[in-house]
Structure formats: structure tokens, C-alpha cells
Chain A
Amino acid sequence: MMLEILRVSWRSIRSNKMRSFLTMLGIIIGVMAVVLSSAIGVSSRDSVTSRVESLGSNILTIGPGFAQSGGINHGFGSASTLTVANATAIEKDDPDVALTAPLASDNAQVVFGANNTSAAIEGTNQNYATIKNITMAQGGFLTAADVTHSANVAVLGSQIEQTLFSGYAGSPVGQQIDIQGIPFTVIGVAATQDSTGFENPNDGIAIPVTTEQNLLTGSTTVSQILASAKSSAVMDDAQLEITSTLRVLHQLAPSAANDFQITNQATILSALSGISQTLTYLLDGISAISLLVGGIGIMNIMLVSVTERTREIGIRKAIGARKGIISTQFLLESLTLSLAGALIGLIIGGGGAIVVGQISKTGNLLSPTAVILAVVFSVAIGLIFGVYPARKAANLKPIDALRFE
């Protein structure tokens, strides 16, 4: 019996293909949005997490503050007051800070044999590699002794190494390169690092900060200080400690603004993941609304269908169909519509999720939860919005239905 009722419903859907498709559209879009939004959510969460890890999650970046004169903001980098001594003091005095590395940056011409290129020269200390999670491909990183002695030694980023030593068969370690005409000995080459945004970490050369200040910038200040907190839990404490240490060292009056600025990587990343979360919510909202609209569409068409088939309902009732049979027939029809819509939406959305997965290299993004959720939701919508038209059909009086023109 059930099978026959299903056949009747199926026939009615098939005899109105275009209308059935348009009816399903809302559900199709809704399910598509559910699947895609979960895929995008997973994908962006994954990429944010991997960035957190690649950056080293506990890093605080101390940069120069906004130098303000007469209300005009000169932006970043105006007049740095940070020094190597500041970095040392922070590391020594602040209990929640593990390590610090000063950063003095400059761009310079680098030559090896016939090869030459322009590179970012980062003057720093031995802690830089630890803070930035840098591993060495060859040789070693800068040592504390290199910094104290202002040694003319350099650690190359992987890309710089390839440019400078292209065509050179031997190991770069121990070779001599010229930076701005000054000879440096290569003591190590860093392994290739993941790009973490705008700057390419493989494109730089690290030398002792003292050497950089003496030979290249000629300045006693540094452009940045990197500090790592002892754990991600004490990031905020570390930031407060650094602030007070620097204010004392820089002899700032209580009313004066900070002449430095501390950026908390975790804060940026949590803001980023907040944005991706918001995006997911937005898509979820769109899916919920379009599923709802889809449901209303189904109800609308089912009501039209009940009216169109009033006579058919009358015939069936006259011949002996009970109320339950009539309502089941229409309920099955709206269920079939919503399920078919869900299936089409799944196919399209699932395809989209796979494409997103390929592009973002996050692998399979078609989460079973999303699929189950979408199907359950559509079935619920088919039922909820099918009940009213089905009841309306079932409650028609046979004589009224038969007389209907």
C-alpha cells in the first residue's frame, strides 16, 4: 500500500518537472549552503590553526609607537626608541618572558662570485631561531659569541642561498659573501619556512645585531624586539610586564603615551579566526533562511497541488480512501520534494566542498555531520511544511471535493 502511495506521489512530481524543480530550489540552495559553509568553516579554521603553529604561538612583537606631532600620525616606524639593551632587560627582568631577540633591518646588495642580489638583512641574536621556530638545513645559527664579538658571519634564508649559490656545487657553509662590500662568512642555511603572510622568511639574511648596527645601519636603535612568552597562557601578563619595563627604561612620565607598541600574535590570530567564525555563522544563517524559504515554497506548491487535485481527492475518497491515505500521499510528495532537493544540494555542495578542499589543500572537507544535518533538516522541513497541505487535503469533504470545478 505504502509503495503504491509513493508511486502516486512520484508520478505527480514527475508530471510537473519544471514546477517540482523550482519548488526544490530553495532546499537545494539551503543544503548547498550548509555543506559549503561547513567546508569553508573547517578549511579556514585549519589554515588559521596552521598559521598559529608556524608563527610560534607565544610571540609578542614590540615595535616603535605612533610618533605623534600636532595630531598628525606618522604611522609605524617613526622614530624607534628600542635598543638591544631594552631586549636584554626584558628577557632578564620580566618573569613571564622566556626569550627576546632584537631586530635591526636593512636592505643591502649581496654578492657571491658572479651572483648578486638584494636582500633583507636582519640584525638579531641567537634567540631568533628559537623564537621563530627556524630549523637549519646546513651549518648552525648565530651564537651569543657572534653577537658579543660583532662577528662578520651570516645565516642565509633558503631562497637567498639558491640565488647566490646557483651554479656552485659545494656547500655554502664556510664560503665568503659580500654584503654592501663587506666580507661575511656563511655559517648556516635555514631550512625552507612556511610563508606566514606578507613577508617571505626565506628571502632574508640574519647577521649579529651588533655587526648590523656597526657596519650597516650605524644606529643604536633597533626596529623591533621579538619576545616569546613562557606559555600562551601568560601572553597578557608578559605584555603588561614588558610595557612597564619599557616605560621605566624610556623614562616616560605617567601621563605620556607609550613610545612603543606591542602586538600580540595570538590576538591577531584569534581575531582572524573570529572573522572566519563570523563568516561561517553568516553562511549558516543563509542556509537556515533558504531552507526555511524552501520549506515555505514547498508548502505553497503543495497547497496549489491540493487545490488542483481537489477533484482527484474527491474521487479517491468516494471510492474509499481514508483520511490517512490522502494525507500520507501528500506528505510523501512534499517529503520526496525536499529529499530530492537535499540530494541535489548535497551533490552540488559536496562537489563545491571537494573543490574548496583541493584549492586550500585541506583535504576532504565534506563532513558527515554536515551531510546528516542537511538531510535531517530537509526531511524535517518536508514534514513540517507538508503537514498543513496534507491535512487540508485529507479534511476535504468528499462531496465538496467531487463538486469542485
Chain B
Amino acid sequence: MSAAEGVMPTSRGAGVGSNGSAHSRPVLIDIRNLVREYSIGGQTIRALDGVSLQIHHGEFVAIMGPSGSGKSTAMNMIGCLDTPTSGDYILDGYSVAQMSEDDLADLRNQKIGFVFQSFNLLPKTSALENVELPMMYAGVPRRERRRRAEEALVRVGLGERMHNRPNELSGGQQQRVSIARALVNNPALILADEPTGALDSRTTEDILRLFEELHEQGNTIVIVTHEMEVGEHAKRIVHFRDGNVEREEWTDEKAGDAR
């Protein structure tokens, strides 16, 4: 791999870049001219202004940019939580724009694992049950669900605290639970919006290492963040400004490890 840390064009299907192996894999996220407008009190805010972006299977991408640049809006689009005003979005071959709400729910269930800044675990519900939830909606039988949830919790290093409720866990532990929940259905994509925003720096390190491990195991990861230290862990950084992609950057693996 070359240590090229240059600005890369956002052209689709460009088979060049430091992480060439990822580019040789099929496209997972294909966004074309995506526009999302919000109207508040008769005023229209263009949160996404014709964004085009491709992410391949196996990539580790960080979306960065100043506050209000449209990162979260893009994230909600990629996560099929929101529908665009115009433009196309194809996720793993599925055209999302025309889908019904129930089909979108199924798509999220099968293809995407979410990690939120505020964890978004169900209160009064044990870590194990929280992790079982996506499999419940996927119709996985009870016993297999239990087994896979335990496996996922062991994988994120929480084998000892499975039966604790979120309010009995630290922030870092809660985020591990939500990561376990995100990966338990073997999704094509793990989507994290400011996953370390509510954590101290040491815990942040731990969580980021966990994401790196998951990436090395072949998962596709997209992280939204405004912190450079977080973004540096990704192999590709997509910089947003005023609702569009400003530039892309490929990080050196060594540069990432040197932190």
C-alpha cells in the first residue's frame, strides 16, 4: 500500500486508492445526487445538496465535517431511517427510495447495525435481551437467539455483564452492548453516529479498537464523527461541508496506528 494521503476524486468506481483491496469488492452503498430538504415554518433548508458517494463491502469509512454540514442527515439516509427528497440510493442492490416502510424495516433489520451516540438501548431490559432484539424481529428461534446474543456479547468483551440492565452499566459498557446488538444479525453494514461522543478518551480508544477489530474481521463500517482522532482510525475519510462532499482522504494504516 502506498502512503498516499492525497485528496481523491469522488468519482464512482475509481479503482484507485490506498485501500485498493476494498475497491475491488462489490459496491455496498451507492448514493447518487441525493437531496434532503427540511421545511421549517415555510423556510426550506437543504441539508443534503446532491450528494454522490460510493462505499464498497469491507470498507472502514469516516464521515467528518463541521456541525450542521449534513453528516447526520446523510447517516439517516444511509441507514434507511429517512427518505430523500430526491436522488437515488441503492443499498446492496436494493433501491431504497421506492420501498414501503415495512420493507425498509426488514432491510434495516437484515443489512444494517446501528450504533448511536446515546447508545439507544432499551431501558429496564437486560444487555442480553437488548442484543436479542434484532434477531427477534428477524424471526430467529429463541434458543439460537440466546446463543448468538451471548456470543456477540463475549465478542465485545461483555461476557460477564450479560444480565445487567443498561443503567447498571458504564457508558463504555453500554456502547459495547449496542455494538453487540449492531453486529448480531451479521449485517452488511455497521453504521455509527458519533459513537464515542458520550465517552471519555480512554473508553473512546477501547471502542475504536473494537471497531478496528470488526473491520479486520471483514465488516463494513461507516462512522460519523467530528473528531479527527476518531476519524483517523478509518481507512477513508469523507469530508462534508454545507450538505455536500467537500473532499475524500485515504489514511495510511501506519499513520492510524501511530496515534
Contacts and interface: CB of A to CB of B under 8 A. Distances in A.
Residue with the greatest number of chain A CB neighbours at <10 A, chosen from B79, B101, B106, B139: B101
Given A311-B120, A325-B137, A402-B120, A319 B82 contact: no
Given A399-B76, A399-B81, A320 B108 contact: yes
Interface residues of B, number: 26
Interface string A314-326: 1111111111110
B105 A322 contact: yes
A378 B190 CA distance: 45
A320 B109 contact: yes
A253 interface: no
B102 A319 contact: no
B69 interface: no
Nearest to B185: A320
A312 interface: yes
Contact of A318 (B79, B110, B139): B79
B122 interface: yes
13 contacts: A11-B124, A312-B123, A315-B120, A318-B81, A318-B120, A319-B181, A320-B106, A320-B108, A320-B109, A324-B102, A325-B137, A397-B82, A398-B82
Interface in A2-40: 4, 11, 15
Contacts of B79: 318
A1 interface: yes
Given A11-B124, A311-B120, A319 B81 contact: no
Contacts, number: 58
B20 to A, nearest CB: 33
B133 interface: yes
B106 A319 contact: no
B25 to A, nearest CB: 25
Nearest to B113: A319
A305 to B, nearest CB: 14
Contact of B105 (A1, A15, A311, A317): A317
A315 B138 contact: no
A313 to B, nearest CB: 11
B105 A321 contact: yes
Nearest to B73: A399
Interface of A: 1, 4, 11, 15, 311-312, 314-325, 397-399, 402
Interface of B: 76, 79, 81-82, 101-102, 105-106, 108-110, 114, 116, 120-124, 133-134, 136-139, 181, 185
B106 A322 contact: yes
Nearest to A325: B137
A148 B121 CA distance: 102
A402 to B, nearest CB: 7
Contacts of B76: 399
Nearest to B124: A15
Nearest to A395: B101
A4 B81 contact: no
B124 A319 contact: no
Q: Is the interface of A mostly helix, strand, loop or mixed?
A: helix
A318 B108 CA distance: 7
Contacts of B133: 316, 319
A322 B120 contact: no
A320 B134 contact: yes
Given A311-B120, A399-B82, 18 more contacts: A1-B136, A1-B139, A314-B120, A315-B122, A318-B108, A319-B108, A319-B134, A320-B105, A320-B106, A320-B134, A320-B137, A322-B101, A322-B105, A323-B105, A398-B81, A399-B76, A399-B81, A402-B116
Given A312-B122, A323-B101, A402-B81, A318 B114 contact: yes
Given A397-B82, A402-B81, A322 B137 contact: yes
A402 B119 CA distance: 11
Contact of B109 (A15, A319, A402): A319
Contact of B114 (A1, A319, A325): A319
Among the interface residues A311, A314, A319, which one has the most CB atoms of the partner chain B within 10 A?
A: A319
B120 A4 contact: no
Nearest to B101: A323
Contacts of B134: 319-320
Contacts of B116: 402
A72 B122 CA distance: 83
Contacts of B105: 317, 320-323
A314 B81 CA distance: 9
Which of A311, A317, A318: most chain B CB closer than 10 A? A318
Contacts of B114: 318-319
A317 B134 CA distance: 10
A278 to B, nearest CB: 51
